[in-house]
Structures are given as C-alpha cells and as structure tokens.
Amino acid sequence: MKRPLSIALAVAAVSSGIAWYGVYLSTPGRPSGPFVINPGDGTDRIVAGLEDAGVVRSGVLFKLALSSSELATKLQPGSYDLADAKSYRQLIERLASGGAAANEVTVRILEGWTVREIADHLAAKGLAKDAAQVFAVVGEPAEDFRTSKKPTADFSSEFDFFADKPINAGLEGYLFPDTYRVFADATVEDVVRTMLANFGRKLDTGLRTEITAAGRSIRDVIIMASVIEREVRSEEDRAMVSDIFWRRLKIGMAMQADSTVNYATNKGLPSVTHADTQLDSPYNTYKYPGLPLGPIGNPGLSAIKAAIEPKKNDFWYFLTDPEGNVHYGRNIEEHNRNKAKYLR
C-alpha cells in the first residue's frame, strides 16, 4: 500500500535532518587554542578533552571514527594546532603525527608578512608581551633608520649576510617565512635568532654566488624580493616583474610600486590613491627613484630567487587585476589601456 504523500515527505525531511545533523556532529569545531595530549593520556581522556575543547562536537562519533581507523592506537603526546582541520579523518591523522612538545609553541610566519604582522603573531602566541616588545628587537616598521636608534639586539656578528646592512637598520626582510617550533618560554631574541638562522640556510652558497656575479648586494636583492613578493604571485610573473624593476632602476626610472606605498601607510589598497603617492617617505617609490630605503616585508624563497634571476622581457609596465592576473604593457599607452580595461 502506498504511503500518503504527506507522510513520505515528512519521513524524507526527518531523514534529511538526521543526515544533516550527522554531518554537523562529524565536522570538527574551531578551538580557541592549541590542544595538548599529555604522555600517558588514554583514548577516553583524549576524546573527552577534544569534546571539552570544542574540537569535536560528538565524542561518540569521534570514537567510532577513531576505532575504524588504523591510527586508533597511534595518537601521540604533544601540542597540536587543530583550528584548520576539516574532517575527523584529518584530526586523527594530525593527532597521530606527533605535535609540538607540550612546552613548545608552533609559529607560522607567512611569506610577505611584515614585522607588524610578525609582531602581532608573536604576541598572540604568548611569545611577546606586545608588538612594541618585538619592535624593540627587530626595529620599527617603515622607519627611517638613518635618523633613529638601532634595535636593542645586535645579530651582526652572528650572521655574515648582515655585512651590507646599515648598522641602525632593522631586521625587516631577514625574518624568513616558515613554520617554527620554539619553546614556550623562548625570548623574542631567541625566536628572531631562529628565523635569521633559517634565512642564512635558505640563502645558500649558490644563490650568494649568483648575487655576487650580478654585481648586486644581498641587501638590495632582499629589498627587491620584498617588493616582488607583495606585487605578484606566480613564479613566472615574479621573474618578469623583477626584470622590469631592475631595468627601471638602471635608467633612473621610478619603480612606482604600490606595495611600497602601502607599507609606508600601513594600508592594503590594490591601487593606491594619488594622495598616498605624494607621501614623503623613503619607502615611497612613486616620490623617490631607486629602491625603497629597506625591505617592505619578509620575502619567501620564490621571491628571492626571482630577484636574483629575472626573466628578460621588453615590458616596462604591469598591473594586477582584482582576480590576481598580471597584465603587461610595453609603453605608457598600453599600460593606460590595461588600466582602463582591467581596473574599472
């Protein structure tokens, strides 16, 4: 006998609701901080902790997922960042991978981050009292070091890549973007030293030889790389833009990089205003020809390599549209047409 349509619809709605609720329960939550598994913690304690911390919404469903996994007995002690886990499977794999020791903190520095962003991140991780404490060590962002006092920490004798860095200049540009595990009681100097040591390893002998062969200094390359990092995304575009900027510098043409103005104003505008381009700052490459006074961020290896190994081309202008695509122009007329077409 056929069921009435209303009953069938009701059953379907209930089934759909149950299915949706099951998906909801098996979707990880967003914990406010790291999750710690201590040595000796059993499965029940771990699952209860995950539920209490809001990482899992249903301890029962998580236990079922765990019991059907080949990793059920392989959860490791440590401190875990689980905020970006998208499934119980991903959670289990993460917890079995071995996190940072409970007395360690994971620090993720993204490519292109400025010392402002790094300072905020270290403060959020509890490794600094506030951003000001970090600036005291690495230098103030966008400052004119020629008229300011040098940072409190001096690493010049520890790292040879500082040989061409002005003594009062800060460390913007040399804090290599990467994921670090540091002790929870590490000082700002300890964390910075770790980043600088990583920079020294990444800027290996081969890259340094290329810099010397091109007749450039490490500092000029890092300044250029920091601009490239914040201007374009792909490796090919970075190499192309590198060649454009180096050729502009060679003939005394202003770089006119929006990223340098944004660094000086602490804005993130895709296309800077005319008023901002008139800002009197040594980091404003619209107003002052040549490289900015210092790096405008901390570039990753891709941007550094692009600054060292530009790709020859016959363009003099470029722009990035709202979708991130780069459009090149051989002259100002082509560039203006690109602006009218892609930046409306």
Residue 20 has pLDDT above 80, yes or no: no
C-beta separation of 50 from 30 below 8 A: no
Distance CA 266, CA 257 (A): 14
Residue 205 has pLDDT above 80, yes or no: yes
pLDDT value, residue 35: 84
C-beta separation of 291 from 249 below 8 A: yes
As annotated, the residues of the chain forming the CATH 3.30.1490 domain(s) are 20-96
Residue 302 has pLDDT above 80, yes or no: yes
| Pick from 23-27, 209-213, 329-333: least confident | 23-27
* Residue 102's pLDDT band (cuts 50, 70, 90): low
pLDDT value, residue 13: 42
Structure tokens at 49: 């902790």
pLDDT value, residue 90: 86
- Taking domain 20-96, whether its CATH number is 3.40.50 is answered by no
What are the pLDDT digits (tens) for 260-272?
999 999 998 888 9
Averaged over 308-314, what is the pLDDT?
A: 98
Secondary structure element (H or E) that encloses residue 340, with its range: helix 332-342
Tell me, what amino acid is at 165? K
Residue 19 has pLDDT above 80, yes or no: no
C-beta separation of 106 from 180 below 8 A: yes
Residue 14 has pLDDT above 60, yes or no: no
* Residue 10's pLDDT band (cuts 50, 70, 90): very low
